[in-house]
Amino acid sequence: MAFAMHAHLLIGRDKEKIEKEVEKIGKGLDAMILNFSMQKIEDVREFKKFASFKVAKKTIIFIKEVDTSSSEAANAFLKILEEPQENITLVLSATRESGVLPTIISRCQVRQISSKIKVSENDTNEIEEFLKMNIGKKFLVLEKARKREDAKAFLEKFITIFHSKIISGDSLSPFAKHRERKLEGDSFAENTKYLESAQETLTRINLNGNVSVQLTNFVVQTL
């Protein structure tokens, strides 16, 4: 497989699988791999300093989680994509495509990297019960997820379940059965709302947002 594209965008939540794909691209190009951050405008400025020097050896710049970059950094980074550097290939990663500027997406070869996150029937039942709870009980459940990694694990599982439901086109989602439905598409709309709320909450937590505050907002959005 040839890797002639100047920039790649890998979409997925499986960080290990994404890193293996970056290594695969590196082997295909016979290139060394360097990691860069692109969260803040200062990061973009540092990258520009690096890119101002001519690179003799083929090099991959691996930039993780560009969907959590600030809008200022993302717009500044767009200019870098518009001016490809000789011997430099950019590989970006993001947990979701919707969090990346469309102008960045248009300049990349986009690939979906399947997630290794597995959910059991018990996980699905727990999420269903969570959505049936009143606000007090929901807070008690999420009290156990106050650590950042625990909160991320809960939200990733939540996202995986709802994404699967929406893709399957299940209009009789078990997450909606506890409420009376008047419109056939109503459960789809509600599932989409839950999915977007979870994705937004996860993004903010990945940006080092206060875990308790973000989970509180998430609970309110699931009422």
Q: How far apart are CA 71 and CA 41, in angstroms?
A: 9
- Whether residues 98 and 182 share a domain: the answer is no
* 41 domain residue, yes or no: yes
- Whether residues 175 and 214 share a domain: the answer is yes
* 133 domain residue, yes or no: yes
- Whether residues 188 and 135 share a domain: the answer is yes
- Whether residues 11 and 92 share a domain: the answer is yes
Number of domains in the chain: 2
| Beta-bridge partners for 93 | 10
- Whether residues 11 and 78 share a domain: the answer is yes
* 1 domain residue, yes or no: no
- What pLDDT is stored for residue 138 in this prediction? 92
Choosing from 81, 112, 143, the residue where a domain stops is 112
Q: How far apart are CA 98 and CA 124, in angstroms?
A: 25
- What pLDDT is stored for residue 182 in this prediction? 36
* 213 domain residue, yes or no: yes
* 185 domain residue, yes or no: yes
CATH number of the structural domain spanning residue 91: 3.40.50.300
Query: How many other CB atoms are found less than 10 A from the CB of residue 135?
Result: 12
pTM: 0.57
- What pLDDT is stored for residue 115 in this prediction? 61
* 2 domain residue, yes or no: no
- Whether residues 142 and 207 share a domain: the answer is yes
- What pLDDT is stored for residue 204 in this prediction? 86
- Whether residues 137 and 214 share a domain: the answer is yes
Choosing from 112, 133, 152, the residue where a domain stops is 112
Task: Report the interhelical angle of 186-206 vs 211-221 (nearest 10°).
Answer: 170
- What pLDDT is stored for residue 116 in this prediction? 59
β-strand pairing of 59-63 with 88-94:
parallel
Q: What are phi and psi of 134, to 5 degrees?
A: -80, 175
- Whether residues 108 and 126 share a domain: the answer is no
- Whether residues 171 and 126 share a domain: the answer is yes
Q: Which domain holds residue 166?
A: 121-221
- Whether residues 75 and 161 share a domain: the answer is no
Q: What's the token pair of residue 201?
A: 């909450």
Q: Per residue of the chain (223 residues), give pLDDT as tens.
A: 333 348 999 998 788 889 999 999 999 989 999 999 888 999 999 988 887 778 888 999 999 989 888 889 999 998 888 877 788 899 999 987 878 999 999 899 988 887 656 777 888 888 888 988 999 999 988 888 888 878 888 898 898 888 777 776 654 344 444 443 333 345 778 888 888 899 889 888 877 789 999 999 999 988 8
* pLDDT tens by residue, 73-88: 999 998 888 877 788 8
Choosing from 112, 138, 163, the residue where a domain stops is 112
To which residue do tokens 């727990």 refer? 126
DSSP label at 54?
A: P
